[in-house]
Structure 1
Amino acid sequence: MAVYTQLSEVEIKKILDGYDLGSFISYKGIKDGIENTNYLIVTNKKKLILTIFENRVKNSNLPFFLKLMNHSKKFGVKCPEPLKDKSKNFINIINSKRYSIFTFLEGNSKKRWSGEACYKVGRALANFHKVNKNLKIKIKNDFSVSFWEKLFLIIKKKKNL
């Protein structure tokens, strides 16, 4: 279950009122995923993804990730594009949580991976790194070696290893 923040139809419509993305038709929580809450929203113009950023994501890092996505998209990486609201904001707040709306990409979750699928993901990841290697924006890696060392010591202490 990856729908951590439940939103009503009224709340979804209120969010859409801040954008020029068409009239609301339907919405559905997306159960796949582990970190953020995602909803598929359908309007009379298009399908969209509403992402509510949950507790692990630092609010100060959100602009970095959205700029990275925009830069990637601009240089041909097939990825969702963050959309600005009527006030030109990428990030807004509902129920004390930050959210963004993104373009929808067709696809599905894979349960089994073939060698060919892994190869395609590897090529896409290589292309992502290639187009972003000279991007000037940076953030601290929260999952660096020091993070894993600290986590290991915590687990070791709890398990009396």
Structure 2
Amino acid sequence: MAVYTDVAEGELGAFLKHYPVGDLLSYKGIAEGTENSNFLLHTSSGSYILTLYEKRVERADLPFFLGLMGHLAYKGVSCPLPVTAHDGSVIGTLAGRPAVIITFLEGLSLRRPTATHCAEVGKALAQLHLAGADFSMTRPNALAIDGWRKLWDAARDRADEVEPGLAAEVDADFADFERNWPKDLPQGIIHADLFPDNVFFLGEKLSGLIDFYFACDDLYAYDVATCLNAWCFEKDFSFNLTKGKALLAGYK
């Protein structure tokens, strides 16, 4: 469940008066997601998503994430737009959490994507990379080698409880990563989390990208590799070559 912080109706109604979204008609928590508390709002002017940022998301990173969404939307990428309050601010405070209202995108996330869907993902990823090329803000990738190392160091002492010899195996993998990680590949703004639950479709047509809260500066290949792993492997862990080729063909 992705509602970690509850919001009372009266508190939410007062919060919404600071935004040009009309009166609250109804709201409900959204189960999908793992990082923040999300609510679907229905107001007299339409539907919106309310996000309350929990502890893992740093408030200092929010201008990057929200600014990027606005920049990409301006460049033609279909993604949500933050709603600006009457006083010109974007980030508010609700229930003791940083809070943002964003526009609502129609569509469904897919559990069984086809090669056609994968081609659409490749096309959207290329569009995102091109559109982000002149975005002025920067943010390092918290889940590159340094970030993985921190996670591994926190878990290493118990790794052999999962499987004897696992600690030594992962240590060797890290040594290989650090020795051979590419440094001269094209890079720029990446999504870094473009899994199927962050992509919406209407039929076979991609309708939008969401959840930019891992976005950062890194190798474009990082994004491509993430998508190949997330979209092109079947439930029996076999790689679907047709889907992989379709995704790469779309990314051009």
TM range (shorter): over 0.9
Shift of 1:132: 0.6
Counterpart in the other structure of 2:81: 81
Q: CA RMSD in A?
A: 1.2
- 1:36 counterpart letter in structure 2: N
User: TM-score, normalized by length of structure 2?
Assistant: 0.61
Identity of aligned residues (%): 37
- Equivalence map 1:42-61=2 (5 Å): 42-61=42-61
How far apart, in 1, do the equivalents of 2:19 and 2:27 lie? 16
Shift of 1:150: 2.5
How far apart, in 1, do the equivalents of 2:72 and 2:103 lie? 14
How far apart, in 2, do the equivalents of 1:127 and 1:27 lie? 33
How far apart, in 1, do the equivalents of 2:122 and 2:37 lie? 26
- 1:89 counterpart letter in structure 2: S
User: TM-score, normalized by length of structure 1?
Assistant: 0.94
Q: Which runs of 4+ in 1 moved over 3 A?
A: none
Superimposed CA distance per residue, residues 14-39 of structure 1 (whole angstroms, 9 cap, x where no aligned partner): 11111121121111111111111111
How far apart, in 2, do the equivalents of 1:8 and 1:108 lie? 28
- 1:31 counterpart letter in structure 2: A
Ranges in structure 1 where 5+ consecutive residues have no aligned partner: none
- 1:129 counterpart letter in structure 2: H
Larger radius of gyration: 2
Superimposed CA distance per residue, residues 66-87 of structure 1 (whole angstroms, 9 cap, x where no aligned partner): 1100000001000000011111
Counterpart in the other structure of 1:147: 147
Shift of 1:152: 2.0
Give the structure with the larger helix fraction.
Answer: 2
Shift of 1:139: 1.3
- Equivalence map 1:29-108=2 (5 Å): 29-108=29-108
Superimposed CA distance per residue, residues 110-154 of structure 1 (whole angstroms, 9 cap, x where no aligned partner): 222212112211211110111111212101221121111222233
Which structure has more RCO (C-alpha within 8 Å, separation ≥ 6)? Answer: 2
Question: Would you say the 8 A contact 2:12–2:94 is kept in 1?
Answer: no
How many correspondences in the alignment?
161
1:10 and 2:10 correspond? yes
Counterpart in the other structure of 1:22: 22
